[in-house]
Structure 1
């Protein structure tokens, strides 16, 4: 299962970065490494649920640091692949070295922190490995739950690279140090939150994985009470919010700063000089607004 997840993320990153070569543009190649990390995090978002009821081993071992072990294992498996992709593809284009190295360090740490955190807070009950069919990627009967959970790290992991990218645009190589710092803080801080959640709710999570039934919460999501139109709007917000936020907003601003103009589908690069950054900023705000609207519509409220 882990090998299939890694292979899918690798294939996606290479294809996504290489597609613009069809129109003669190689500007996406250096970002294959960070893209691979983001997709690998999405594939591993249900890390605990995918392991089934094996959590009892950790719960019965006093002092076991399960979250830190998983973070180290995930980084050990993903970092070499991401590093090779980044170095090889950036060497082909000749840069931008500070930006891609800063992004890689930041998103690696962000992903290593977010994967266990998302998994313990949004766990989708999985089928125990010895009871699964031949498809190694079908780890649960709740396909919609897995799909929804995978969307979350696509946006959140990308956002962890934003501070380092902004520093690179302003101060150059100093952004790499910022990327390393923010990545380390994400690994430590988000991992600490996941550890506390696992320590406090471990038996409940194990029961959820064993029975597939969630205990009745004190608050209920509004999603089940939404109309068909409201549900559609919510899904569109979460499903498409990353498009204006990341490629049309953040990446477009990066391309404009490097004088990469009139490239592919990045609208800001086609704007007059005075409108390029405002258009990119507008897309970032649009993406954030879409995620905000989706969260507002499904916000929890006390059960009647």
Structure 2
């Protein structure tokens, strides 16, 4: 059974490589990952000749890779579920057999191989201290790889289970946000790569005590011929991995036994039931608002990005870097939250055919989705934009934040509409993990999001230019002039995005339908 699942995973990965643009970006992601892995292995293996300093470097970099396994799938929705548990529901397999088979299939992809190369730097470091340390390092690297893969699977399965149920929605939101915030300690470690050997003793000790640093501690113990210190971390990693495997098997059993419906809640009621649905556009907008509220896949995409976008300028202030960026939290949150709409038709899947075969439905569908995105993203981010500058006493930045927010929101929605019809991809079924990227390689989505952010920043340059002129001339009237310019850019971008999406759906509808169809 394990061999069958591994071959299935490799076959599906091979098919993904031949899938045009997605295959290209997948290969590009592998190349970038290999480069990062080689650099990591070199830093660990040759960064220090002393066992203590080498252990600090290894523990820090292992922590970065571990956090990458946690926050990456949550932030860009690329949790791999090439082989879904639901496909094996009818087979006579126990929960532990299923967990073992899926775990073996998880190691068949390129990501574990890349991580093995990165962790292999520990073996190079240990080779300086004899064959015993090398043997300990080899075992530690394998256990470290098993640990990070299982940790990622368990955390995402736990958060995903909460996000699929109405009762656990609030808990899922909190957990997704906290996992996404792992970006900040990871960025802190990356910013201190050049001084890893001279980290403060408290930080170095913390990195050693975390499970991500136990394999490095084991090598340090073997280098010092302290065999108790060498064996205890290995036993600890094995015990933790065994516990994670057991937890994963339990989560898989609950996932298969419990009816999962990502569209939670009743069919009617609530505020949306009292909203007037004048015409097809209004009906589509209300339908989309309900979907954003109820569909766990949309929440899993939107909420972590929204939380991270808000806290990106706030986090430096917490670290003592001043409150200069705090008023712009609404702008950054609008900038990043628009990324959640980069695959609007992927959420619908083959239901897109109903829009394509209904005369005149394309225009109403695109504009209804546009209005829904403006409400879902615009209202909370505008509220943040209005509150934070006054809360921190920065009243003079209101022309800046309001004009940039209007431009960023409109351009972001424009980018989301264009990419939804230009580069759609299938999403997992609603019974699957909402953080799964489906048939789309994670790198493809990451590159698309990068292109969106770059385009948004370029489009708001006229607003920035007016604001800078107003600041240089010390004329508030000139700064406030940026607000109508920002609104105009946002409206124009939204109109351009809607028209492009309408034209693309009309002329390339069958190709889009094929692109969002699960193979």
Q: Same fold (TM over 0.5)?
A: yes
Residue equivalent to 1:164? 463
Residue equivalent to 1:40? 337
Separation (CA, whole Å) in 2 of partners of 1:68 and 1:39: 21
Aligned counterparts, 1:1-304, within 5 A: 1-21=297-317, 22-64=319-361, 65=363, 66-93=365-392, 94=394, 95-127=396-428, 129-130=429-430, 132-133=431-432, 135-142=433-440, 143-170=442-469, 171-210=478-517
Indicate if the aligned counterparts of 1:48 and 1:55 stay in contact, CA closer than 8 A. Answer: yes
What's the CA shift for 1:139? Answer: 4.3
Cα deviations by residue, 1:261-298 (Å, 9 ceiling, x for unpaired): xxxxxxxxxxxxxxxxxxxxxxxxxxxxxxxxxxxxxx
Provide the secondary structure at the position in 2 that maps to 1:193.
helix
Separation (CA, whole Å) in 1 of partners of 2:484 and 2:468: 13
Q: Which has the larger radius of gyration?
A: 2
Separation (CA, whole Å) in 1 of partners of 2:384 and 2:512: 36
Separation (CA, whole Å) in 2 of partners of 1:199 and 1:51: 17
Indicate if the aligned counterparts of 2:341 and 2:413 stay in contact, CA closer than 8 A. Answer: no
Indicate if the aligned counterparts of 2:338 and 2:409 stay in contact, CA closer than 8 A. Answer: no
Separation (CA, whole Å) in 2 of partners of 1:5 and 1:85: 20
Consecutive unaligned residues in structure 2, runs of 5 or more: 1-296, 470-477
Separation (CA, whole Å) in 1 of partners of 2:514 and 2:435: 23
Separation (CA, whole Å) in 2 of partners of 1:10 and 1:47: 17
TM-score when scaled to structure 2?
0.39
In 2 relative to 1, CA 211–2 (structure 1 residues): closer, same or farther, beyond 3 Å?
A: closer
Separation (CA, whole Å) in 2 of partners of 1:177 and 1:169: 16
What's the CA shift for 1:14? Answer: 2.5
Indicate if the aligned counterparts of 1:50 and 1:139 stay in contact, CA closer than 8 A. Answer: no
Separation (CA, whole Å) in 1 of partners of 2:467 and 2:345: 35
What's the CA shift for 1:173? Answer: 0.4
Separation (CA, whole Å) in 1 of partners of 2:308 and 2:409: 17
Cα deviations by residue, 1:37-74 (Å, 9 ceiling, x for unpaired): 11112222122223321211211221012211111110
Separation (CA, whole Å) in 1 of partners of 2:464 and 2:458: 10
Indicate if the aligned counterparts of 1:18 and 1:29 stay in contact, CA closer than 8 A. Answer: yes
Separation (CA, whole Å) in 2 of partners of 1:33 and 1:125: 30
Indicate if the aligned counterparts of 1:46 and 1:146 stay in contact, CA closer than 8 A. Answer: no
What's the CA shift for 1:211? Answer: 5.3
Cα deviations by residue, 1:78-100 (Å, 9 ceiling, x for unpaired): 11111111112111232411111
In 2 relative to 1, CA 202–73 (structure 1 residues): closer, same or farther, beyond 3 Å?
A: same
Consecutive unaligned residues in structure 1, runs of 5 or more: 213-304
Separation (CA, whole Å) in 1 of partners of 2:348 and 2:453: 21
